[in-house]
Structure 1
Amino acid sequence: MGSVPRSPLALAALATAAVPGLDARSVRPEEVPGDYDVAVVTAGDDREWFVRAPRTTMAGAALEAEVELLEALHLYVDAGVLPFTVPQVAGYALLPEGGRAVVHRHVTGTPLDLESLHPGPGLSADLGRTLAAVHELPASVVESCGLPSYTAAEYRERRLVELDEAASTGKVPPRLLRRWEAALEDVALWRFRPVVIHGDLAPDQMLVTRGRVTSISGWSEARVADPADDLAWLLAAAPPEAVDSIMEAYQLRRTELHDLRLVDRALLVGELALARWLLHGVRRNLSEVVADAEEMLADLDEATREDAPA
């Protein structure tokens, strides 16, 4: 596959080819993670359609695995096991260079506003139950699609490798690095049962309607791995007073949850995301990203230094 970006008009043409009867009236580009060209097409009946075309062979393979996963997840949505919807593919269009573009209805809803979360039985609790429902899915749902599956030991080893690479840049504050190394050497912290995780949650991918999570999209990073990955961003960004409601509802919804260090690990994973952001900038020679990561690492180092016991 080539890497020349497709214009929104080209994507609109692919959408009309993929969905019989789709009468495209307007189109706007959409930014999503990964090597994809994406647009939202508005039809004559005002319905919106989401079209995504891979730019590379690797992105094409990932998209095919995600589509297979979405089809499997729909069975659990229809059965009432998952309390939210996921995108449902409406059609495909073959690409000249190989692979296919995928089209589905543009899911409506309001992106999750973490700052609006409050303690109690409302949206905070619903978030906990929603994530728990994902983590209760059988591992075979992901594994049968060819998506990654890790043991706890393998996943801890991946974290160690990432940290070693981040350390080699010389840009991680030494005290922060020592604290992370100690946490990764704490075997008890990494005793967990791997589960199905979304793997790339963000507010734009969790849509809310009337105080409930009604849709989750962006499943390309799904895998069997550490449940802390899906909780890390919530625990780091949600108001502290809402975290207890999230975790209480999560724990009540999970069965056989014996992960005593889950919250500790989730907080650590949230911190390690800064190391991955640094590596992203270093690998792609993005000086602005590297500078941003260094600033956030310095802030974290200062904050944890203040929190450390005297």
Structure 2
Amino acid sequence: MSPVPPDATQILELAASHGLKLKPDTLSVNEAGLDYRVVMARDLEDTLWVLRIPRREDVSAKLADEKKILDFIGPRLGVAVPNWHIAQRNLIAYPALPGRPGLTLNPTSGEPVWHFDRESRDYARQFGQLLARMHAIDVEEVRRAGLVVETPEQVRATWASDLARVRQAFDIAPSLTERWERWLGDDSYWPRFVTMTHGEPYPAHVLLAPDDTITGVLDWTTAKVGDPARDFVFQKMLGVDAVFEATVDAYVKAGGQVWDRLGDHCVELLAASPLGYALYALTTGLPEHRAAAQAQLTPEAAM
């Protein structure tokens, strides 16, 4: 979190316009998010609040969907999720959840700051069990709640459609195009079932107690029924095979279902992340985002 921001007065006025009176000297801002500014501040009763301020109109348009997800997942997950007290197009606010994020960014350098042992087998065990609980949620319940439900066929079709859209708007290195097409065309990578997923459960979105017990999960914007591997990707990205294996082992022991190439599929999902950023750049329309996306799609040219 950064020191008190230059627009602190406007933030205080925004909160007050929704009935939330905050102490000016308690404000701090995290500017790292692509979609939201995140403000932490205490109210007059000294309760700590989280304020999410949308950066763009397209972000505000997704608010109702995320609120629906939180209302559905909250009673079913076994750990805390945000309970929005204010949910308006220009402000989301809720009392801070217990715990601290496992990962933050240094506000000056932008470098990651880890707040737990990334090689902890205990964290891997807890995380695997958490995923097993979430993935066990009945898909028909999700459908009845009005949330997004994809079939296994739709999961792959969406990736193919995304690739086609990005190819129309950007140059892509042939090596990446060939890799992604091989992955899309090889049945052995892909699950034949879908589950309820968070989509981005990496340590910045996972809250931990002082003893590293998982206490909550943040940022449910991308949650849907889809590819269960989405929730394992960041464990794979840590690059420690034993941690990934411990996560999967705990997941299976807690009732989770896996397939032979889960790990390989996670590697390919990581390799396909430039597609996601390119779609983000097309959504924002900002030249700096487009340039960053192009650099990821043609990495040889950037060298």
TM score, norm. by length of structure 1: 0.76
Report the equivalent of 1:183. Answer: 183
Alpha-carbon displacement from aligned partner over 1:204-249 (angstroms, at most 9, x marks no partner)? 2111111221110111221110011111122113533322111211
> Does 1:8 pair with 2:11?
yes
Report the equivalent of 2:151. Answer: 151
The one-letter code of the counterpart of 1:92 is I
> Superposed, which structure 2 residues align to 1:10-29 within 5 Å?
10-15=13-18, 17=19, 24-25=23-24, 26-29=26-29
CA drift at 1:299? 6.1
Distance (Å, rounded) in 1 between the aligned partners of 2:145 and 2:34: 19
The one-letter code of the counterpart of 1:86 is V
Name the stretch that deviates more: 103-112 or 165-174. 165-174
Contact 2:202 2:235 in 1 (8 A): no
Report the equivalent of 1:227. Answer: 228
Name the stretch that deviates more: 193-202 or 160-169. 160-169
Distance (Å, rounded) in 2 between the aligned partners of 1:132 and 1:158: 25
Distance (Å, rounded) in 1 between the aligned partners of 2:54 and 2:265: 34
The one-letter code of the counterpart of 1:253 is A
CA drift at 1:259? 2.5
Aligned-pair Cα RMSD in Å: 3.2
Report the equivalent of 1:167. Answer: 167
CA drift at 1:138? 1.7
Report the equivalent of 2:78. Answer: 83
> Does 1:92 pair with 2:86?
yes
Report the equivalent of 1:207. Answer: 207
The one-letter code of the counterpart of 1:87 is P
Report the equivalent of 1:3. Answer: none
Distance (Å, rounded) in 2 between the aligned partners of 1:249 and 1:86: 22
> Does 1:126 pair with 2:126?
yes
CA drift at 1:283? 5.4
CA drift at 1:184? 0.3
The one-letter code of the counterpart of 1:179 is R
Contact 2:129 2:251 in 1 (8 A): yes
Contact 2:152 2:191 in 1 (8 A): yes
Alpha-carbon displacement from aligned partner over 1:86-119 (angstroms, at most 9, x marks no partner)? 1223x337x6xxx685432112422224682225
Report the equivalent of 2:264. Answer: 264
> Percent same amino acid at aligned positions?
23
Report the equivalent of 1:79. Answer: none
SS for the counterpart of 1:11 is helix
Distance (Å, rounded) in 2 between the aligned partners of 1:300 and 1:267: 20
> Superposed, which structure 2 residues align to 1:51-62 within 5 Å?
51-52=51-52, 59-60=59-60, 62=62
Contact 2:22 2:41 in 1 (8 A): no
TM score, norm. by length of structure 2: 0.77
Unaligned runs of 5+ in 1: 1-5, 77-81, 302-310
Alpha-carbon displacement from aligned partner over 1:18-59 (angstroms, at most 9, x marks no partner)? 6xxx66454344447575565333123432112346677764
Contact 1:65 1:146 in 2 (8 A): no
> Does 1:246 pair with 2:247?
yes
SS for the counterpart of 1:41 is strand
SS for the counterpart of 2:272 is helix
Q: Kindly tell me: are residues 285 and 59 of structure 1, through their superposed partners in 2, closer, same or farther at Cα, counting changes over 3 Å?
A: closer
Unaligned runs of 5+ in 2: 1-8, 104-113
CA drift at 1:8? 1.0
Q: Kindly tell me: are residues 14 and 68 of structure 1, through their superposed partners in 2, closer, same or farther at Cα, counting changes over 3 Å?
A: farther
Q: Kindly tell me: are residues 145 and 50 of structure 1, through their superposed partners in 2, closer, same or farther at Cα, counting changes over 3 Å?
A: farther
Report the equivalent of 1:71. Answer: 71
Q: Kindly tell me: are residues 139 and 56 of structure 1, through their superposed partners in 2, closer, same or farther at Cα, counting changes over 3 Å?
A: farther
Distance (Å, rounded) in 2 between the aligned partners of 1:144 and 1:34: 31
Q: Kindly tell me: are residues 177 and 234 of structure 1, through their superposed partners in 2, closer, same or farther at Cα, counting changes over 3 Å?
A: same
Q: Kindly tell me: are residues 298 and 59 of structure 1, through their superposed partners in 2, closer, same or farther at Cα, counting changes over 3 Å?
A: closer
CA drift at 1:273? 0.9
Contact 1:92 1:100 in 2 (8 A): no
Alpha-carbon displacement from aligned partner over 1:172-193 (angstroms, at most 9, x marks no partner)? 3212321210110113322421
Q: Kindly tell me: are residues 275 and 35 of structure 1, through their superposed partners in 2, closer, same or farther at Cα, counting changes over 3 Å?
A: closer
Distance (Å, rounded) in 2 between the aligned partners of 1:300 and 1:112: 33
